[in-house]
């Protein structure tokens, strides 16, 4: 059980432009934000391959949201995000389990806290079990779409960035017909991003 | 000059889902929100062809934003929006001039407060002149894209609706490469919509 007495939630964290992009075009290994996508992460601190190195300075909304994200006890990530990020050097934060949602198992076996999973429901179940009642965070557009389509996403925290990218990779794309209702739980204004937390009320 | 001493601004008002849609698929005359697009206007009051009839009840953020919109002294609209809305019965509000941005002049001449304009810059100039220092409001995705691409949009007021539509007509689509920087001026939380006002800092 988590601090507020509820079971752990699966929450997607993604920086998104007002026009819905989470990366510019031509994203790839070492350039996960693609061409001209840098404004999406301007609210974060400068850093390296270690996610924790990007903690925003100060005590404002950006830092608060970042710290909440890093207090999660398991990570689900899409394969693309994981590979582009160089596996975060082997540890996302605090050695928590990292479940990589992938279409096919890689030739190299999982190592350390990393485990590759091909089934969406199994991936979420393993992550929630590993988090032992604490929250699970997730990254990645394709993985998010898969979890959303399966009706397994509990919350979405969008870092809404005041920019129109015009092209690139969209966070919400290829959803099945039938709309998904959300409930705005919280809105926090940080420098360079408005942090919007939604509960997912109905699956796609 | 407007109340705060500045010259009138051109402000886009649009209800948009979190995934960027301003209508579901198959929008058309009398069904401007398309299939399953109704949640986009849930923050408005029920009404008819007269825009003023949709004023939200109460004195909350929804009503405040609506009243600001209806205090504008000229309207720019895209041709599609105008036609789908049945020309708002001939009067958008208070008889203010309505400039319809269109690719080709219709066979029927303009009537009453309505004027068809094919040139974007002329359309904005005419509207601002007509508003005599007060703000100009605009509706319509294609028209917004044209005005944005021309670097003539001053502000954007997005009514961000907590729903994922998954398909339909996107507000920001077909923008030329090169991102548009925005500045968040205000965030007001209403029932069923988060009203986000942005200043456009750089054109596409």
Mutation target among A179, A186, A200 for the B interface, most CBs of B within 10 A: A179
Q: What global pTM score does this model have? A: 0.94
**Record: contact B162-A184, CB cut-off 8 A:** yes
The whole-angstrom separation of Cα A77 and Cα A99 is 6
Report the chain A residue with the minimal C-alpha distance to residue B198: A162
Q: Is residue A122 part of a domain?
A: yes
**Record: contact A182-B163, CB cut-off 8 A:** yes
From B20-34, B58-72, B154-168, the region with the lowest mean pLDDT? B20-34
Q: Is residue B107 part of a domain?
A: yes
* Residue B204: pLDDT band with limits 50, 70, 90: very low
What is the total count of domains within chain A? 1
**Record: contact B19-A163, CB cut-off 8 A:** no
Alpha carbon of B32 to those of B40, B88, B116: distances in Å? 11, 12, 20
Q: Is residue A161 part of a domain?
A: yes
Chain B residues within an 8 Å CB radius of A172: 18-20, 164, 166
The pLDDT of residue B31: 87
Q: Is residue B34 part of a domain?
A: no
Question: Could you tell me the residue range of the domain that residue A76 belongs to?
Answer: 10-23+53-200
Tokens of B100: 């319809």
Residue B167, classed as helix, strand or coil, is: coil
pLDDT in tens, B87-114: 999 899 999 999 999 998 888 777 789 9
The pLDDT of residue A110: 75
The dihedral region occupied by A166, where left means phi > 0, alpha psi between -120 and 50, and beta the remainder, is: left
Q: Is residue B42 part of a domain?
A: no
Tokens of B192: 């069923």
A vs B, Cβ pairs < 8 A, gives 100
Give the CATH number for residue B60: 3.40.430.10
pLDDT in tens, B57-92: 988 999 999 999 999 999 999 999 999 999 999 899
Q: Is residue B116 part of a domain?
A: yes
Choose among B160, B167, B183: nearest Cβ to A177.
Answer: B167
Q: Is residue A68 part of a domain?
A: yes
Chain A residues within an 8 Å CB radius of B180: 163-164, 166
Chain A residues within an 8 Å CB radius of B169: none
List the pLDDT tens digit at each of the 204 positions of chain A.
Answer: 445 555 799 999 999 999 999 999 999 988 889 999 999 999 999 888 899 999 999 889 999 999 999 999 999 999 999 999 999 998 999 999 999 999 988 887 777 899 999 999 999 999 999 999 999 999 999 999 999 999 999 999 999 999 999 999 999 988 887 789 999 999 999 999 999 999 999 854
The whole-angstrom separation of Cα B37 and Cα B151 is 29
B187/chain A closest Cα distance in angstroms: 9
Q: What is the mean pLDDT of chain B?
A: 92
Residue A81: phi and psi, rounded to 5, are -60, -45
Choose among B163, B194, B204: nearest Cβ to A166.
Answer: B204
Burial A160-173 (b: 16+ CB within 10 A, else e): bbbbbbbbbbbbbe
């Amino acid at each position: 059980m988590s601090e507020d007495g509820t079971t752990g939630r699966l929450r997607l964290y993604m920086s998104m432009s007002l026009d819905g992009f989470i990366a510019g075009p031509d994203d790839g290994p070492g350039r996960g934000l693609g061409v001209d996508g840098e404004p999406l992460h301007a609210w974060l601190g400068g850093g390296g391959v270690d996610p924790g190195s990007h903690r925003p300075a100060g005590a404002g909304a950006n830092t608060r949201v970042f710290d909440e994200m890093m207090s999660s006890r398991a990570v689900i990530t899409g394969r693309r995000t994981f590979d582009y990020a160089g596996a975060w050097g082997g540890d996302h934060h605090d050695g928590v389990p990292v479940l990589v949602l992938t279409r096919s198992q890689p030739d190299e076996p999982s190592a350390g806290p990393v485990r590759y999973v091909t089934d969406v429901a199994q991936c979420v179940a393993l992550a929630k079990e590993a988090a032992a009642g604490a929250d699970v965070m997730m990254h990645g557009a394709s993985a998010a779409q898969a979890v959303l389509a399966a009706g397994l996403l509990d919350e979405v925290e969008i870092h809404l960035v005041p920019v129109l990218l015009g092209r690139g990779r969209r966070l919400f794309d290829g959803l099945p017909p039938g709309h998904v209702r959300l409930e705005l739980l919280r809105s926090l204004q940080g420098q360079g991003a408005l942090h919007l937390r939604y509960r997912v009320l109905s699956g796609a």
